[in-house]
Structure 1
Amino acid sequence: MHIPFDNSYATLPEGFYTRLQPTSVASPKLLAFNENLAAELGISGADPKLVARVFGGNEIPQGAAPLAQLYSGHQFGNYNPQLGDGRAILLGEVIDTNGLRRDIQLKGSGRTPYSRGGDGRAWVGPVLREYVVSEAMHALGVPTTRALAAVRTGEDIARETMLPGAVLTRVASSHLRVGSFQVFAHRGQIDDVRTLTDYAIARHAPEADGPLGLLQHVCDRQADLIAAWMSFGFIHGVMNTDNCTISGETIDYGPCAFMDDFHMGRVFSSIDQQGRYAFGNQPNIAVWNMAQFATALIQQIEDKDAAVEAATAIIHAMPARIEVAWARRFAAKIGIRTPRDGDVDLVQRLLDLMQKDGADFTNSFRALGTDAARDQFTDRAAYDAWATAHADRIADEPDPAGVMRAANPAVIPRNHRIEQMIEAAVAGDMAPFERLMAALATPFEQTDAELAKPPAPSEIVAATFCGT
């Protein structure tokens, strides 16, 4: 196999990471391989057995520079001074066919110095969940890490019970996180903060003017990302600062979920007992995370008073930035290309009706403009009043139906379908996985009506788990 590695993170000071090899596994077997992404990365000679050995961690390809990255982070608001890649190994980086630098990382590849007593492994369920959901997000046009390969290890690992092990190969613009900066700022290693800032600017924001320019760049990316998540009913579930990327990509699909029936306070993550990362609270958390990023970045600026003032202004402007991105996304969902005064109120009226009636988020938006939309609501009179106002508003819009079709998917990776897919895969049946992947590759087309249906009462998944 040829992987055209061009590694840059490995040239940073050794205190940024630990060099080590992934732990080999007993019997690597390929579950899934993203051939289109492999071609984009310039990977060739991908024989399935060799793919399984390489992306299972048993064979290190030429040019790789395996390492585990150091970072820290706030977890549910509490600072943990040292986290790091506890079950992941960065194999290296490539310059893809579009000229973009991208990481290739193994997840579930064994213990590292940052494992904190964990086994460093993953099981089939979370690996395939991340594979499906990250690729679905990509097809929806949401910035995200990608899935290159899933490999079954031939070993069982201990969670609540013994479960089949697996390794995910993840691709990202980088794995730099807010926590990557926090660890050095917290330790007072200001030269390292400065080194990492220069590296991040060169890699992600060459137009940025110093630390404050980087802060503005990342805030803008995060604002757009949160609006995109919410427009598809996505709940990340664990928005800790170590899961918040500098690139503005969605990362770490642990207890994530897409809503069925709409509710602003919806929580699925089994570990989010207080609803910190509930659907409607995601904008607030994004701003909070960026405030932590600002706190780390300004440590390197000599004029602290001026730095605090400038950073505070950037952070205080972020809620409005999210609102603008949110309004643009949700206006498109009701057929409006360019929102104007009153459109947010029109959207909010619909969301209030959906929440009151328990309407399905995805299917309600997808059906707008058809009789099927009315069927999503129990208070038909209230919906009819809204629909009349909506029809009046879009009467002079160019191609509102086309705008809605492009903004409202027909199919999302629903929780119950993912659980059914995982159960089948554990038993050796990958057909549900393949069916999901085929439908989710073109989410704005109705190619599999069965997968668009919300769960029956007996199929509802009330909680999701990170799998660590």
Structure 2
Amino acid sequence: MAVRLPFDNSYARLPPRFFAPLAPTPVAAPRLVRLNVALAKDLGLDAAELASAEGVEILAGNRVAEGSQPLAQAYAGHQFGNFVPQLGDGRAILLGEIVTPVGQRRDIQLKGAGRTPFSRGGDGRAALGPVLREYLVSEAMAALGLPTTRALAAVTTGETVRREGMPPGAILTRVAASHLRVGTFQYFAAQGDTDAVKTLSDYAIARHYPEAAVAANPYRALLDGVVARQADLVAGWLLIGFIHGVMNTDNTSISGETIDFGPCAFMDAYDPATVFSSIDLHGRYAYDSQPGVAYWNMARLAETLLPLLASDEDAALASGKEAIAGFAPRFEAAYRGGLRRKAGLLSPRDGDVALIQDLLTRMAENKADFTLTFRHLAGAALGPENDEAIRALFADPTSYDDWASRWRIRLLDEAASPDERHAAMQMVNPAYIPRNHLVEAALEAATEAGDFRPFETLMDVLSKPYEARPGLEPFAKAPDPTTRIYQTFCGT
């Protein structure tokens, strides 16, 4: 069975200094452990072909498909605030791009495909646990409705990798709108290569922001577009309790997608200072710090574009500052609007934000579960007889009672019926998220015992996060103190 991947590789047509061409390093005994059949269909690919022996060889990097032009992309980045002038794809290889049946261009990339010129001493491989984590969390993010890279396939390699315990190796096939990063622009700007920054900007405009091409200043319009998408994205993260964990500039996508799921996690008990990542020693990327970090990252992007914003240095600086100043109002509008919807306040009124912020403060003081509080609030919107589920989440239930009395007075201003409000709230307050203890249990079963059943079950649960289903109650529960995960680890 011949595998057909209709590649159309625009990035490979950029100047040679943008990447290093090389093929993936073959592995010993590739085995397909999961194929995203629905995503394959959306991409216009034949799932049966991908699951064939030849298809698995391609997904493992043992065979280069016809039309593929494999390459590792060059980029730099600020990592925890420190600038590294050369990073690049140290274990990822872009196989090429395809155009979907609806005209969307998508990268097809292998993560864990072997060493590249950018590996910096690493082995270029990936362990099974982190591959399955990215597969699971990225697909959960997509189901939750947030822009994200996607997972097309995961294969094991038949080899171990040089990590603690020598875990089994694996390769993830990642799909993205592109892999352009803030760090890609920084790579060339740091070298003073303005021509490359312009070439990259023109490419980003054509691929992601075509409307900017006809703007009075296309490069300012590009910057405005990236700022807006990042503001919306991070607001979306906060509204579902997501903590990225490593918001370096090389992990900040120009397309506005969530990218690179390393020590990411979803918050259980609400605490705005929550940090999970073992390498975030000072809380730089804590839950409530993410908007500020995204703003900072946009400032770094603006710096790279200054020579294109205006010929006069002062005018360019003023334009860049004006562009990134748009982040805060865009973020606040998206975040506050989302909070209103989560609380069932569908007709904005003065005082709404303060009311919801008071709920968040009380949740933090009482260690109430973030996801469950808002999910049960949808039930409470039908009437106070449903309050007990929320009261049980609060160390002091009367703290919720006091807030709920004011909330119900506010609900009297709403035109929607209780049933309409309940339905609307359920559509934005998930019943299921990738809770850390469930994720870790599924990954442990797969990596330690070769048992992928918990992983498959969790994938099924998270595919419909807003739909409560009988029999899945354990997947909605918060962890008890003995199963709660307090720290996550980068899989590099």
TM-score range, shorter chain: over 0.9
Deviations 1:319-376 (A, max 9, x none): 1221111001111110122433211111111111110011111011100113211211
Q: Which amino acid aligns with 1:247?
A: S
- The answer to whether residue 290 in structure 2 is matched with residue 311 in structure 1 is no
1:87–1:111 contact (8 Å) kept in structure 2: yes
For residues 69-468 of structure 1, the aligned pairs below 5 Å read 69-208=73-212, 209=215, 210-300=218-308, 301-368=310-377, 369=380, 370-371=386-387, 372-397=389-414, 398=416, 399-426=420-447, 427-447=449-469, 448-468=472-492
1:30–1:48 contact (8 Å) kept in structure 2: no
1:335–1:402 contact (8 Å) kept in structure 2: no
For residues 114 and 348 of structure 2, the distance between their equivalents in structure 1, rounded to whole angstroms, comes to 49
Q: Which amino acid aligns with 1:311?
A: G
Deviations 1:133-165 (A, max 9, x none): 000000000000000000000000111221100
For residues 173 and 338 of structure 1, the distance between their equivalents in structure 2, rounded to whole angstroms, comes to 34
2:274–2:287 contact (8 Å) kept in structure 1: yes
Q: In the comparison of the two structures, how many residue pairs are matched?
A: 468
Q: Which amino acid aligns with 2:128?
A: V
Secondary structure of 1:18's match? strand
For residues 126 and 313 of structure 2, the distance between their equivalents in structure 1, rounded to whole angstroms, comes to 43
1:223–1:322 contact (8 Å) kept in structure 2: yes
**CA RMSD, aligned part only?**
1.0
For residues 262 and 6 of structure 2, the distance between their equivalents in structure 1, rounded to whole angstroms, comes to 30
Partner of 2:62: 58
Deviations 1:354-400 (A, max 9, x none): 10011111011100113211211122222111111111212232232
Moved over 4 A (4+): none
Q: Which amino acid aligns with 1:421?
A: A
Secondary structure of 1:102's match? strand
1:328–1:338 contact (8 Å) kept in structure 2: no
Q: Which structure 2 segments of 5+ residues have no match? A: 381-385
For residues 458 and 312 of structure 1, the distance between their equivalents in structure 2, rounded to whole angstroms, comes to 48
Q: Which amino acid aligns with 2:170?
A: A
For residues 11 and 424 of structure 1, the distance between their equivalents in structure 2, rounded to whole angstroms, comes to 43
For residues 19 and 174 of structure 2, the distance between their equivalents in structure 1, rounded to whole angstroms, comes to 18
For residues 161 and 212 of structure 1, the distance between their equivalents in structure 2, rounded to whole angstroms, comes to 49
Deviation (angstroms), 1:440: 0.5
Deviation (angstroms), 1:454: 1.3
Secondary structure of 2:210's match? coil
Q: Which amino acid aligns with 1:322?
A: F
For residues 301 and 411 of structure 2, the distance between their equivalents in structure 1, rounded to whole angstroms, comes to 41
% same residue:
56
Deviation (angstroms), 1:423: 0.9
TM-score, normalised by the number of residues in structure 2: 0.94
Q: Which amino acid aligns with 1:466?
A: C
Q: Which amino acid aligns with 1:435?
A: T
Partner of 2:9: 7
For residues 67 and 416 of structure 1, the distance between their equivalents in structure 2, rounded to whole angstroms, comes to 36
Q: Which amino acid aligns with 2:255?
A: S
Partner of 1:29: 31
Q: Which amino acid aligns with 2:421?
A: P
Deviations 1:430-463 (A, max 9, x none): 1111111111010001121111111121111111
For residues 215 and 438 of structure 1, the distance between their equivalents in structure 2, rounded to whole angstroms, comes to 38
More deviation, 404-413/453-462: 453-462
1:394–1:400 contact (8 Å) kept in structure 2: no
For residues 136 and 4 of structure 1, the distance between their equivalents in structure 2, rounded to whole angstroms, comes to 27
Partner of 2:383: none
Secondary structure of 1:90's match? strand
Partner of 1:67: 71
1:145–1:249 contact (8 Å) kept in structure 2: yes
Secondary structure of 2:134's match? helix
Deviation (angstroms), 1:316: 2.0
For residues 422 and 160 of structure 1, the distance between their equivalents in structure 2, rounded to whole angstroms, comes to 15
Q: Which amino acid aligns with 2:453?
A: A
Q: Which amino acid aligns with 2:307?
A: Q
For residues 32 and 302 of structure 1, the distance between their equivalents in structure 2, rounded to whole angstroms, comes to 52
More deviation, 422-431/275-284: 422-431
Deviations 1:98-132 (A, max 9, x none): 21101000001000000000000000100000000
Q: Which amino acid aligns with 2:397?
A: R
